[in-house]
Amino acid sequence: MHVLRQIGLYLFAAAFFYAGVTHFIYDHGFAQMLPSWVPLKLELVYVTGITEWLLALLLIFPQTRRAAGFATAIFLVLVLPANIYAAIYGIPAPWSEETSLAALWVRPLFQPLLIWWVITVSKDSKHR
């Protein structure tokens, strides 16, 4: 089971790091996912991208893994409203001109799975 957890950890960290990269590539698309009343949208997109990089890196190190797992779970809860907003108002994925309504709802509906995943792979395992 240890090997599967390691693989899951590195897959999650890599995907989360890549998600941070996309915040800089598709910054305006991510900014559209925020309601009009949110100030400094692009800056918020950049901060969330950097946060994803930092959390992904902290997940790799055993000394910071558990705390990073909880912080990542909290982060995923905090960004959930933007995903729900995008689904409700039909705002396309940041890298797309149009996205089906079903695809837009996949992101918020799978958020609990991502939270479970990061909590599971970041659990304390005795330092090796």
Confidence of residue 98 (pLDDT cuts 50, 70, 90): confident
pLDDT at 1 over 80: no
CA-closest candidate to residue 26, choices 44, 47, 45, 3:
45
Could you report the per-residue pLDDT of 8-45, keeping only the tens digit for each? 999 999 999 999 999 999 999 999 999 999 999 999 99
Q: What pTM was computed for the model?
A: 0.89
pLDDT of residue 125: 57
Q: Are 26 and 86 in contact (CB under 8 A)?
A: no
Q: Are 121 and 5 in contact (CB under 8 A)?
A: yes
pLDDT of residue 8: 94
